[in-house]
Amino acid sequence: MSTQRGRIRITGFDPTRVDERDPLSEWVEDGETEPESRWRRAWRRFRRNRSAMLGVAVVALLTLLAVFARPVELFGVTVQPIALTPFEPDTILYLTPEYANIGPYSPPSGTALLGTDGTGRDILSRLLYGGRYSLSIGFIVVFITAVIGIVYGSVSGYYGGLVDEVMMRVLDVIFAFPGLVLALVVVATLGGGYWQLVLAFTVFGWAGYARLIRGEILQVKQNEYVMAARALGARDRKVIFRHIVPNALAPVVVQASLSIGTVVIGVAALGFLGVGLDPTTAEWGTMLNAARSTLIQGPGATLPWWATVFPGVAIFLFVMAMNLIGDGINDALDAQDTTVTQGGGA
Amino acid sequence: MALLEVDDLTVQFYTEDGVVTAADELSFTVESGEKFGVVGESGAGKSVTALSLMRLIEEPGRITDGEIRFKGEDILSMSESEVRSIRGNEMAMIFQDAQTALNPVYTVGEQISEAVRHHLDYSEADARDRAVQLMDDVGIPEPDARYDDYPHQFSGGMQQRVVIATALSCDPDLLIADEPTTALDVTIEAKILDLIENLADEYDTAVQLITHDLGVIAEVCDRVMVMYAGKPVEKAPVDDLYYDPKHPYTVGLMSSIPRVGEQRDRLQTIPGTMPDLVELPSGCSFHPRCPFAEDACTRKEPPLVDHETGQAADGDTDQHVAACLEYTGDLVEGLDYQVDVDGADPNTGSATERGRDHGA
Amino acid sequence: MPEAEPILRAENLTKYFDDSEGFVDSLLGRSQWVKAVDGVDFTLYEGETLGVVGESGCGKTTLGRALLQLLEPTEGSVYYNRADGAGGRERLDLTEASSSRLRSLRTDLQYIFQDPFSSLNPRLTVGDIIGEPLDIHSLATGAERTDRIYELLELVGLNPSHAQRYPHEFSGGQRQRIGIARALAVDPEVIVCDEPVSALDVSVQAQILNLLEDLQADLGLSYIFIAHDLSVVEHISDRIGVMYLGELAEVGTTDEVFSPPYHPYTEALLSAIPEPDPRWQGDRILLSGNVPSPLDPPSGCRFHTRCPRVIQPAGFDLDQPVWRSLMDFKQRLLGEETIGAVTAVEEDVDVEDASRAELEDLVRAEFDLPDRFGGEAERVFADAVDALHAGDIQAAETTVSESFVSPCEASNPDLYAETETHNLACLLYDDEHPDPTGSVGGRNDAAADD
């Protein structure tokens, strides 16, 4: 029994012996892993996610179909000559003598595989071609809103204080209104049309990204490597763009991939309300809107289900696929450190 | 019959990088009322062992082999509801991070009395009385008033006291404490350890204390098991382990801690890091880091044997066993280290000059 | 060892944080100040290691960051004696330096962080992490940069081929080595090591401690080593500063501070370290109470609310533990509103209806007071219990706060020079406050309640 500390002394456990001797076995401490960046690692995980890859396949297919639906001309030069669709999207079939037997709302047949709409146009052709509107508007809107949101949110989050306070109150005002209502107001003011729709969805749509990245930046800012960069003498600009923003991007990427679907539904909703694109446009939502009247019919009438089901299925497929992709990205980025790591640290 | 008997417990995690064997044919016993320490570095499989005792291993982990008998009953073959009636009742757990172990939306009193109401069917009022009494026992001042406080109103040390009160609420036979003081300051740590020790004696509860801190083990425990890479490498009564360590890993651990009052300029460290559990070195998993390793160590996995007789461990709790080929007579050079104790009295005198000249 | 001119000297270094909730509060002037570091003076000499130790929340990390101007100090100066290249030294006040000047000074003053996981940017390769300081200060480019990175990796015991890897591929100890290599890249003179080993396993911790010591010997570095683990600090430091609630309680060489400990707080800290020796029988000093909030630190000596050796007022001659318990009784009374706060819990006894005698027993039980301690104190205690029994907590508060007053509450001790190198802030050792109990060096266990 003793009150003296440090009584036990061990000698002879000499670590240099390990360093000096030849390795006893083939085993090496860290032989296995190839250097792999975060994004490459995420991509590897993503590729292994079957539902996400299914989503990618669906989106790729829809995109290809949209691109090759009709020839593409740029400045009068045909850059894409292939035409997959049997008809022009605007061709009214019964006006051609050849197809005189096909009228408005003809059921699916050998000529019009998915039937015709109320004006007698081939629904398959319109669906394939209409993908150009629905798909492109989603990607364009998301790209623009994400960029604006990232810049706005980064500034707000990094500088904090009064700047942050004012910028966030502006966001609160935007969030006080449902996004679709704001879009509706813009379209109602400016009129319908492709670019008007883009504007309608971008003008307030960035707010979500701004809030998201601001929160993320507040969190990343706490990391010691940000303090470390400052301790090394790095300038603010470098700290933000090299250390903070890249580490805050992951949730924004997830959010963006998920909101492409949301935008497409929004466009379809406006189309369905009849305020989106020109009613004759082959955009999916607008097509639904055109066939809306067929849903409510008197007794005894037949329901031309193909006029509403096929555009609906197209919207559903695309949005579903985008959500699968979004979830896949989320899992791939999120699950960074779930693997059991090496010992040696807490 | 021992309170807890673990036989050949094997726990595996199925990860992307391969199968991680977090506990590998682990056997040990805890007698009732005993304080049993488990020590090792992170990744040694200490926490996994604790969780499997309560059958709390979650996907992708699985208990692939072995038997856990608590008071003679096999936990692994029980139904989920039978296990639930044991958890928190006969076997309770204290976690490292009291802050996350407490639910922020319930008052601490509710959390302490919950287990009593659930397991012992106390009425609301009786449960409250019991909780207040427990809070007083663990040293929370004015327990009656603080019963209705929320966890965030407590300091870290006080939160850990609440967790201990919760764990003790049903008067468990076994208390598993997983790094209970790691997140606390030394002054608070001293008080919490004191508390655990006293309460365990008072309630006659066995304690399995899991920690990386050899000082904490020395303070509280009767027996110790040292773990390395999912396997037990040495088991002994606490005095034997500290004064006469037999496994090179234990020796390395003890020589790498800075001790107050000693005058060493350099610490003798264990080189390298704990191996990835996916791909363990062949033979003895410690051989790449062991200064005494020989060719034999790369070929043969050492069994856990009595260091004197070389016979396999037979479950006698006072036995001092170590998993090193030295004690099966397979080493040529032998181990070459020395343990000195300052001012060793006759009782401990045997500890000096030990570790030398054994083996072949 | 200490020589005439210190390399770094802090004078009255102070850092307060605004604890108000949001800017509306601060607009309305409802600010609360967390006094994280409150008027700290110390010096660091060339080539030495100054350990800074204290419990969490004592302000040691804030001190390290304020020293290097990573946090702007509220008040005070930090003087750095910079080698001017011609063999001489020039003295700079870091708190006055412009931001560009400060940036260039970062090549001399570096920081090693606690958390090896959050201190490395996960998106950069190890080579880029170590190369960053080289780029920022244009120290090396091209092949020279690559060579320097390899050299640094080797210096900290890592394989140069690891330069292409990412931080997540390394263990905690290896990451800490990367952090050290990054700090060394600019060839600094002073490094603040903020708990560099507390997140590591014991064997790895020892490796890093050895590495830091080797680097100090080879490169002539001066360290400020911040840690909560006394055994680590004792092992690595030449001199030690003990911090409590934003102030330095004691500074001195390791031997002066620890063997034997003078300051009651140091003594308590030291006694609390679990000794890896099952037969060790040293006495634990269990401090009463919790660390008070830095928002509103106690008056006088900040440690008086927990100090086992808190001084008794003139005319009192109690056993020290009794006096400590009476102080606890007073603090509890002043801090809380109910009678339940000062009584032990006893089944079947309701404090509201308890008889005078029962109540007194409950209070004594709660504070581990003996049946009789006699003298003036006994009388005051009886008066207080009378008031409590009458239900008049106010009166009880007045009674005790008038009589149970320690000199430690009244005056805040300055750092007083015990020897040339050993300073401590404790009235027990201040000649102007002769110790009335004469209990210097006497050690008493405090009541273990909090």
- Kindly provide the ipTM of the predicted complex, given to two decimals: 0.86
Residue A1: list chain B partners with CB under 8 A: 345
| Nearest partner of A311 among A328, A330, A294, A336, judged by Cα | A294
Residue B11 Rama label (left phi>0; alpha psi -120 to 50; beta): beta
Question: What is the phi-psi region of residue B151: left when phi exceeds 0, alpha when psi lies from -120 to 50, beta otherwise?
Answer: alpha
The CA distance from A262 to A286, in Å, is 16
Residues 268-307 of B with CB under 8 A from A: 268-279, 281-283, 287-295, 297-298
CB neighbourhood size of C21 (10 A): 10
Note the residue count of chain B. Answer: 360
Residues of A in contact with C68 (CB under 8 A): 231
Note the pLDDT of residue C218: 92
Question: What pLDDT was estimated at residue B351?
Answer: 39
Contacts 24+ apart (CB under 8 A), C71-76: C71/C15, C73/C13, C73/C14, C73/C15, C73/C37, C74/C14, C74/C15, C74/C16, C75/C12, C75/C13, C75/C14, C75/C39, C76/C10, C76/C11, C76/C12, C76/C13, C76/C14, C76/C39, C76/C40
Angle at CA A105, nearest 5°, toward A103 and A110?
A: 70
Query: What average pLDDT does this structure show over C140-147?
Result: 91
User: Average pLDDT over chain C, rounded to whole?
Assistant: 84
Query: Of A41-50, C226-235, C392-401, which has the strongest mean pLDDT?
Result: C226-235
Helix (H, G, I), strand (E, B) or coil at A17: helix
In chain C, the percentage of residues whose pLDDT exceeds 70 is: 91
Please write the tens of the pLDDT for every residue from A201-229.
898 889 999 999 999 999 888 888 999 99
**pLDDT one-digit tens code per residue, C306-341:** 898 888 888 788 888 888 888 888 888 887 777 777
Partner residue opposite A6 with nearest CB, options B255, B260, B288: B260
Cβ of A24 within 8 Å of Cβ of B298? The answer is: yes
Distance from CA of B180 to the nearest CA of A (A): 15
How much is the average pLDDT of C103-107?
A: 90
> Which residues sit opposite B68 in a β-bridge?
B6
Of A36, A235, A345, the CB nearest to C200: A345
Q: Is the pLDDT of residue C77 over 50?
A: yes
- Report CA A98 to chain centroid distance, whole Å: 43
- How far does the CA of residue A145 sit from the closest CA of chain C (Å)? 25
pTM passes above 0.90: no
* Res C267 pLDDT > 50: yes
pLDDT single digits (tens) A241-260 = 888 988 888 888 888 887 88
Q: Residue C119 is nearest to which of A33, A225, A337, comparing CB atoms?
A: A225
Contact B154, B100 (CB under 8 A): no
Q: B358 falls in which pLDDT band (50, 70, 90)? A: very low
For residues A79 and C273, the model is more confident at C273
The minimal CB distance from C168 to the residues A223, A234, A337 is found for A337
Chain B nearest CA to A337, separation (Å)? 11
Nearest CA in chain C to A5: C275
Nearest to A136 by CA among A58, A62, A57: A62
Residue B221: pLDDT band with limits 50, 70, 90: very high
More confident residue, C94 or C3: C94
Candidate from A15-19, A214-218, B303-307 with smallest mean pLDDT: A15-19
Q: Judge whether residue A343 has pLDDT over 50.
A: no
pLDDT higher than threshold 50 for residue B353 = no
User: Looking at residue A340, what is its pLDDT?
Assistant: 34
Q: How far apart are CA C58 and CA C61, in angstroms?
A: 8
The reported pLDDT for the residue numbered B30 is 92
Task: Please say whether the beta carbons of C137 and A233 come within 8 A.
Answer: yes
Are B23 and B8 in contact, with CB atoms under 8 Å apart?
Answer: no
- d(CA A128, CA A65) in angstroms, rounded, equals 6
How many Cβ atoms from other residues are within 10 Å of residue C3's Cβ? 10
What residue in B sits closest to A44 (Cα-Cα)? B16
Whether the pLDDT of residue C441 is over 50: the answer is no
pLDDT of residue C431: 65
C291 neighbourhood in chain B, CB within 8 Å: 155
CB contacts of C209 in chain B (<8 Å) are 258, 267
CA of C297: how far to CAs of B283, B336, C14, C400, C448, in Å?
58, 54, 14, 21, 22
The pLDDT of C87-104, averaged and rounded, is 86
Residues 313-342 of A with CB under 8 A from B: 338-340, 342
**What are the chain B neighbours of A23 within 8 Å (beta carbons)?**
288
Count of beta carbons in the 10 Å neighbourhood of residue C93: 12
Say if the Cβ atoms of A227 and C182 lie within 8 Å: no
Backbone angles phi and psi of B325, in degrees to 5: -65, -20
Q: Answer yes or no: is pLDDT of A271 > 70.
A: yes
Of the given ranges (A279-293, B29-43, B344-358, C213-227), which has the lowest mean pLDDT? B344-358
Q: CB distance from C117 to chain A under 8 Å?
A: yes
Q: What percent of chain B has pLDDT over 90?
A: 31
A85-104 pLDDT, tens digit each: 778 877 777 787 777 777 77
CB contact under 8 Å between C210 and B267, yes or no, is yes
Is residue B311 less than 8 Å (CB to CB) from chain C? no
Average pLDDT over residues C9-27: 78
Check if A76 contacts B (Cβ < 8 Å).
no
More confident residue, C246 or A37: C246
| Residue A337 predicted with pLDDT over 50 | no
Domain A36-71+82-102+110-215+252-336 classification at class level: mainly alpha
Inter-chain CB proximity C281 and A238 less than 8 Å:
no
Residues of A in Cβ contact (< 8 Å) with B20: 340
Q: Kindly tell me if the per-residue pLDDT of B266 is higher than 90.
A: no
pLDDT of residue B69: 93
Mean pLDDT of A318-330: 86
pLDDT at A334: 62
C-alpha closest to that of A266 among A196, A175, A184: A184
User: Of the ranges A71-80, B150-159, C396-405, which one carries the lowest mean pLDDT score?
Assistant: A71-80
Q: What residues of chain C, 271 to 310, have a C-beta less than 8 Å from chain A?
A: 275-277, 279-283
Q: Read off the pLDDT of each residue in A196-203 and give the average, rounded to a whole number.
A: 89
Across chain B, mean pLDDT equals 86
Q: Is the peptide bond before C260 cis (omega within 30 degrees of 0)?
A: yes
Is the separation of the CB atoms in A163 and A155 below 8 Å?
yes
Task: Work out the minimum CA distance from A219 to partner chain C, whole angstroms.
Answer: 12
- Top-ranked range on mean pLDDT: pick from A168-172, A308-312, B275-279, C280-284: A168-172
Q: What is the pLDDT of residue A123?
A: 86
Q: How far is CA B288 from CA A74, A147, C292, in A?
A: 67, 51, 49
Pairwise pLDDT comparison (B278 vs B349), residue with the higher score: B278
What pLDDT, on a 0 to 100 scale, did the predictor assign at position C242? 94
Q: Render pLDDT for B99-127 as a digit per residue (tens, 0 to 9).
A: 888 998 999 999 999 888 888 888 888 89
Per-residue model confidence (pLDDT) at position C20: 66
Phi, psi dihedrals of residue C16, rounded to the nearest 5°: -110, 145
Tokens of C192: 């603040």
Q: How far apart are the first and last CA of chain A?
A: 34
Taking the Cβ of residue C98 and every Cβ of chain A, the question of whether any pair is shorter than 8 Å is answered with no
Q: Do A15 and B276 touch (CB under 8 A)?
A: no
Main-chain phi, psi angles of C40, to 5 degrees: -100, 130
Average pLDDT over residues A47-57: 91
State whether C336 and B142 contact (CB < 8 Å). Answer: yes
Interface test mutation site (partner A, options C153, C168, C174, max chain A beta carbons within 10 A):
C168
Residue C28: the pLDDT is: 67
Q: Is B161 or A278 the better-scoring residue by pLDDT?
A: B161
CB B297 within 8 A of CB B287: yes
pLDDT bracket for residue C347 (50, 70, 90): low
The yes-or-no verdict on residue A76 having pLDDT over 90 is: no
Neighbouring-strand partners of residue B5: B29, B69
Yes or no, beta carbons of A8 and B337 under 8 Å apart:
no
CB burial of residue C97 (10 Å; 0-12, 13-18, 19+): middle
Pick the residue from chain B with its C-alpha nearest to A9: B340
C120, two tokens: 């490395």
- Comparing A63-77, A206-220, A288-302, B48-62, the range with the smallest average pLDDT is A288-302
Exposed, middle or buried, A87 (CB in 10 Å: 0-12/13-18/19+)? buried
pLDDT for B79 beyond 60:
yes
| C261 upstream amide cis, omega within 30 of 0 | no
Residue C219 banded pLDDT, cuts 50, 70, 90 = very high
Hey, is the C-beta of A1 within 8 angstroms of any chain C C-beta? yes
Give the Cβ contact number of residue B182 at 10 Å: 15
Contact A224 C125 (CB under 8 A): no
Quick check: A13 and B298 CB within 8 A? no
User: Over 60: is that where the pLDDT of A31 sits?
Assistant: no
Are residues C23 and A3, on separate chains, in Cβ contact within 8 Å? Answer: no
Question: For chain C, which chains pass the contact test of at least 3 CB pairs under 8 Å?
Answer: A, B
For β-strands B206-211 and B35-39, DSSP reports them as parallel
Residue that the structure tokens 């083996």 belong to: B359
Please tell me the predicted confidence (pLDDT) of residue C76: 92
A-chain CB neighbours of C117 within 8 Å are: 345
- The pLDDT, as a whole number, for residue C62 is 92
Residue pair B130/B122 in contact by the 8 Å Cβ criterion: yes
Task: State how far residue C204 is from chain B, nearest Cα, in angstroms.
Answer: 7
DSSP string, C260-289: TB-SHHHHHHHHHSPPS-TTB-PPP-PPPS
Neighbours of C167 (CB within 10 A): 21
Q: Rounded to an integer, what distance in angstroms lies between the CA atom of residue A46 and that of residue A252?
A: 17
Residue of C nearest to B237 (CA): C278
Rounded distance between C-alpha atoms, residue C432 and residue C437, angstroms: 15
Q: Which residues partner with C243 through β-bridges?
A: C248
Q: What is the topology classification, in CATH, of domain C8-267?
A: Rossmann fold (3.40.50)
CA distance B154 to B138: 14
Q: How far apart are CA A190 and CA A186, in angstroms?
A: 6
Overall size of chain A counted in residues: 346
Residues paired with B226 in a beta bridge: B39, B234
- Least confident span in B98-102, B230-234, C175-179: B98-102
* SS3 state of residue A338: coil
The dihedral built from the CA positions of residue C388, C392, C395 and C397, taken in this order, carries a sign that is positive
Statement: residue B346 has pLDDT above 50: no
C-alpha separations of B104 from B101, B148, B165, C57 in Å: 9, 12, 16, 22
pLDDT for the residue numbered B347: 43
Residue extent(s) of CATH 3.40.50.300 domains in chain C: 8-267
